[in-house]
A and B are shown apart, each in its own frame.
Chain A
Amino acid sequence: MYKYDEYDHSIVAARVEEFRDQVNRRLAGQITEDQFKPLRLMNGLYLQLHAYMLRVAVPYGTLDSRQMHMLAHIARKYDRGYGHFTTRQNLQYNWIKLEDAPDILAELATVEMHAIQTSGNCIRNISSDQFAGAAADELTDPRPWAELLRQWSTFHPEFSYLPRKFKIAVIAAEEDRAAMRLHDIGLQIVERDGKLGVAVYVGGGMGRTPMIAPLIKDYVPFEDFVSYLEACLRVYNRYGRRDNIYKARIKILIHELGAEKYAAEVEEEFKAVKALGIDPPRAEFDRIAAYFAPPAYDAEAPDALDRSDPDFAVWLDQNVSAHKQPGYAVVTISLKPIGGIPGDASADQIDLMADLAKTYSFDELRVTHAQNIVLPHVRKADLYGLWQQLRDAGLAEANLDLISDIIACPGLDYCSLANARSIPLAQKIATRFSDIGRQRELGELKLKISGCINACGHHHAGHIGILGVDRKGVENYQLLLGGSGAEDVSLGTITGPGFSEDGIVDAIEKATDVYLRERDKGERFLDTYRRLGMAPFKEAIYG
């Protein structure tokens, strides 16, 4: 894991004290809310329905047990004993007091954490593959590249007031576990002639105008990639619309300009940027990469597994993934218990996961964009003992990528932007499909719920997506089918008129019945939908 150097420490500490002064001035009435709001947002502090909400950055979703324990400590001391893991691999607290916020940031800084780049029109926290450094299918660990971009983007003076927020994801495997092409910039590390570089996709995103990022350049060598991204941002900063918030994202610019024209502008800008010499020397990258060196694996770790406990065997099949190192596995801890709140974890659970990471996973954890937690490096021989402890803490739901592994935004229960509640719907759907045998029969089925058009719950990218809307003061839910945030990326299509809370659960069941009836061997729900199209599903849902 990356460790702060003196410069990192000093800028985070300076930011904490700067914000403390800003808060004091606000509380003393020396600045108005209009003046204060952009300052608090630059420190991840929102005002939501019930209180202030603090969003803590987890760069590329990676953290260690010390940091995880700090998150639990803050939940207990300053919040109400829990936190919410988000679709940006971050963590949110829902009940923060303004007067406590500087102290919280100061405590976070002691474990090299902060809330910078979690709000505002800047380059947001860089996201990545939650299996980075462990995945059997990756070309290289994408996190050093992401860390380099974190350092490049943090407090970048030219990109602190972009037309709109800007999200970047970095992956290094063919399987896209980070919804890479639904980001403003998606980077896939690729190899050409034995040298690593990036394929650059620009202009993706969800929100009210969902778009899949087109490929802007198929290969940018490492030596040029920071300059190239600088050029991408500069062109956006120059031409992106600031007159209309709904047309301010880079996806709109690229849609209106055309990908080819945008790429040509970037190439031209790149020539000027390259001359500035901002690309880091290889030695600096190597310095960063050294922090992400593989842990000291036991080369003799056995591969054999005892599957005699049937519940353990189901969890193994569902929540344990292949690791690049023989004798090891990647474990995903589901934060989606049946009837629970997706992404929420109590302080005790957060502490337990930290302890388990320390004991079983070389002190490393990951937050996934699907609101789960990963222990990336677990000896196969330790899996049963780990599972037993997770089970005892209510953290062994064996539902990864099944219909009850639902992404849901906080919705109208917490969020001031929401039009409808997301969480109760997730609870009802998970309860309706609670039987694990039935879930596994349905297979991979990614269900995603957003409580408003801003799409924090990624509904456009769900095999089944749900969008909550406000119909004359009453919650109503639109159903979408056919989305995907993976390497087979696609945007869902609305089935037709919306539903009540109970009605949409019935509609989902009808859609899954069509799938079970019509599927060909080996097809997932998404595959069957793509082969058959909307018609049979629509007929079943509305007929």
Chain B
Amino acid sequence: MKLLTGNDLASGDVTWWTGTGWSRHVEDAVDVGDQGEAIAHAEEGARRVNGPYVIDATATPEGPRPAHIKDRIRALGPTVRPDLTLKPADPNAGSWVI
């Protein structure tokens, strides 16, 4: 599957395209198929995202899992600061990244 991701223009937060808007949580991301570039163009123009790009991901029961470690780190947060990730209380979050 293909996901569309970028950063929020004002806050810089990592965001994921949900089909109707942007979420900080990769679990909310949807497969954009071959529409990623078009959505990115429109959303960037509307200043709802900065630097959007399309990535490969795998559908899993827990939600989409980005194919590349860089995007998994973007999705969760720094592996060396679990307290600053989106799932600070989840002891297994790190293994999802690695």
Contact = CB atoms under 8 A, between A and B. Distances in A.
A427 B9 CA distance: 33
Contacts of A95: 12, 84
Interface in B1-31: 7, 9-14
Given A33-B44, A47-B7, A424 B79 contact: yes
Interface in B52-92: 67-70, 73-74, 77-81, 84
Contacts, number: 65
Contact of B7 (A26, A51, A341, A421): A51
Nearest to A421: B79
Given A33-B44, A49-B73, A98 B9 contact: yes
Given A49-B74, A97-B11, A99-B11, A27 B47 contact: yes
Interface in A467-498: 473-475
A98 B78 CA distance: 20
A95 B14 CA distance: 11
A34 to B, nearest CB: 10
Contacts of B14: 49-51
B98 to A, nearest CB: 9
Contacts of A47: 7, 12, 50-51
Nearest to B7: A47
Contacts of A33: 44, 50-51
A341 B12 contact: no
Interface magnitude class on chain B: 20 to 34
A397 B88 CA distance: 28
A473 B80 contact: no
Interface string A98-129: 11000000000000000000000000000000
Given A47-B51, A51-B12, A473 B67 contact: yes
Contacts of B47: 27, 29
Nearest to A98: B10
B11 A473 contact: no
Contact of B80 (A50, A52, A97, A341): A341
A475 B69 contact: yes
A475 B74 CA distance: 16
A47 B13 CA distance: 10
A396 interface: no
Q: Which 10 A-B pairs have the closest CB atoms?
A: A51-B12, A413-B78, A52-B12, A423-B80, A97-B11, A99-B10, A29-B47, A49-B74, A413-B80, A473-B68
